[in-house]
Amino acid sequence: MIPLLLGITFFSFMIISMAPGDYLTTMSQNPQIKAETITAMRLKFGLDQPWYIQYVKWLWNAIHLDFGYSFANQIAVFTLIKAKMLNTLILALSAALFAWGLSIPLGIVSAVRQNTWVDRSASFVSFIGLSIPEVFFALLMVLFAAKTGLFPVGGMKSIDFEYMSYGGQILDLLHHLILPTIVLGSISLAGRMRQMRANLLDTLRQDYIQTARAKGLSERVVTYKHALRNAINPLITLFGFTLADLLSGAFLVEVIMNWPGLGRLTLDALFARDLYLVMGSLLMASVMLILGNLAADIMLALSDPRIRYE
Amino acid sequence: MNKTFSNSPWALFWRHLRRNRIAMLGGGILILFYTLAILADFFAPYGMETQNRSLYNCPATGIHFIDSSGKFHLVPFVYGKVLADRKWTRYADDTTKIYPIHLFPKGESYRFFGLLPLNRHLFGVESDGRIFLMGTDQFGRDVFSRLLFGGRISLSIGLVGILLSFTFGMLIGGISGYFGGITDTLIMRSTELVMSVPALYLILALRASFPINIKSDDMYLIMVIILSFIGWAGMSRIIRGMVLSIKENDYVTAARALGFGHLRIIVRHILPNTLSFVIVAATISIPGYILGEVALSFLGVGIAQPTASWGNMLNQAQSVRVLTSFPWILAPGYAIFLTVLAFNFLGDGLRDALDPRKIK
């Protein structure tokens, strides 16, 4: 994991440094800022040195949890990212919960009632969910919110958030969370549902299920105790992929629905050529993804005793 | 004479696919969309950049059969639009004059397939009238025409991107699985590197290494390269896995004994066996590239105005006011949705037709 992170940082530092100009070039166009100030800042941030020296310096500081200084926001990158990352995590986790909470039961129902109208309509809806572009879906939801007024059109908090009671604040947050969660969750919902259905159908055809039925166990016990536990394993492995989809997908949802997360921050930083901020958010997004994969591996080991011996 | 029929695998595959109605529907939609995009000059009543300065954010003109006096017209017609409320940009029909819709009228000239100079379009109205099937955008450009021209970029980027990334993905995966050892380790570590950064973050970081404002032609190329750079990793990992088992076959040993070069064995003897998988994977992956273009252009770092792409046409909709007042600018969204749906339908059908057991 550590070499992977090293590789990612090295690689991303290289491509970002390839970009023509930096934040100070934009600043130097401003006639109100003296040339000496720019030169002094360039020296202070080490921007006059070649990129690999800058990288080593950045890395050394990053090990000490100092991710540098955001030029555009005049604040330490870590402080800025910490707050935004929490918002992205809230959104990603709530979307994951939504997607998994719906896809597993739906997948089970369509597998158990294979080829009935329940199964067919579920697979039809899942095809649509699989195909609807996130940008489009998010815009439709904003349109829906604006036309009906049932949901806020964007953002994370109401204007009077600070004056609400503690419970009111949570309710307000949840109210703002609903539409982004639906948009983001639907990306993985359909895929996971199809996966769950296919897995369960496969498992139900196994010999040991036949044995369990022959023992005289009720169909309920056979399905939910014997088959389900085996069918759910591949889905746990997919949790890492789901998280990758969600983190990447959250980017667009955040921008369209004004959710103050890492995506919005990164986009603004890119436009402003705010080098350290881009690096910081890229790194954080990757760390979240790698940790998600790790969590998936651990969960799989916990649920499947065969894996521990490998 | 007795004739014996034998079906080649491809004939069997085709027969299987043709029976799958949903897959054929997907294929049909795609053929229609690609034809419309390729022949956009002819199908679109107006050019991509043609502006109607007095008709900005104008809703669709609609197609009428019955005029204001209740008279029925056999040839459908449209009314002219006049700005009735400047503050709220509301338009009213000018019912005093009707403009019948003509087939193959003369319009703006263009070069058919870039060669033959023509000025006929599929449909249109007399030159002082306007027909907007889907309304106009903030610069008074016909959304329907731009949708067709934008399809050229958005639809082709998927094909070009997949061609590039799958060629590299197959080759690199083939080399990785065939040689094994240190080559394999190095390649697999670098695919892991690419795959551990959330895709959109990586795309934007790569995009940042080019200047913000780039001409549309160059941007197209840059986007293809960026999207393919992300795409090769997953592909080569899967191909590597397949190559690991294929290379144990006797015919590979035979080819080696015949003294063929490594590259020839990989390209001519091993990779063709992965082809059926690759076709399905490509069909399912193309939407990813289309959506990549849409995301970049939508965020304002992709194809730049005045060139149309489905992504940058949606860019305007970022403002809630524009979105609620002029919802017809969402038209490209429906087009993207239908395209992705069609690719998924077709991909699913292909997977079934190419024996589901072999591909997993």
**The pLDDT of residue B360:** 37
> Which of B200, B286, B339 best probes binding to A when mutated, by most A CB atoms within 10 angstroms?
B200
Q: How far apart are CA A13 and CA B197, in angstroms?
A: 13
> What pLDDT does residue A310 have?
46
User: Which residue, chain included where needed, has tokens 């699989």?
Assistant: A130
Option in A133, A270, A282 nearest B337 (CB): A133
pLDDT of A309 > 60? The answer is no
Q: In chain A, what residues touch B317 (CB-CB under 8 Å)?
A: 139
And the tokens for B114? 């870039």
Put simply, the answer to whether A267 touches B340 (Cβ < 8 Å) is no
Quote the CA–CA distance of B154 and B163 in Å, as a whole number: 15
pTM, entire model = 0.85
Q: What is the per-residue pLDDT across A70-128, written as a single tens digit (0 to 9) for each?
A: 777 777 778 888 888 888 888 888 888 888 888 888 888 888 887 788 888 888 888 88
- Report chain A's mean pLDDT, rounded to a whole number: 80
Element (H, E) at B103: strand B102-103
Rounded to an integer, the average pLDDT of B231-249 is: 85
pLDDT at B243: 86
pLDDT of residue B30: 92
Predicted local distance difference test score (pLDDT) of residue A240: 67
Of A128, A154, A267, the CB nearest to B299: A267
The DSSP result for A79-141, as a single string, is HHHHHHHHHHHHHHHHHHHHHHHHHHHHHHHHHHTTTSHHHHHHHHHHHHHHHS-HHHHHHHH
Mean pLDDT for B227-253 is 86
Would you say residue B146 has pLDDT above 60? yes
> Residue A233 and residue A220: Cα distance in Å, rounded?
19
The confidence band for B6, taking pLDDT boundaries of 50, 70 and 90, is low
Nearest to B299 among A147, A249, A255 (CB): A255
Of B274 and A47, the one with more pLDDT: B274
What pLDDT band is residue A54 in, cutting at 50, 70 and 90? confident
Per-residue pLDDT, B339: 93
**8 Å CB contact between A122 and A109:** yes
Q: Does the distance separating the beta carbons of A154 and B333 come in below 8 Å?
A: no
Residue A69 has pLDDT above 80, yes or no: no
Could you tell me if residue B81 is left (phi over 0), alpha (psi between -120 and 50 degrees) or otherwise beta? Answer: beta
Angle between helices A262-272 and B199-208 (to 10 degrees): 10
Chain A residue with Cα closest to B192: A4
Closest C-alpha among B160, B170, B179, B158 to residue B276: B170
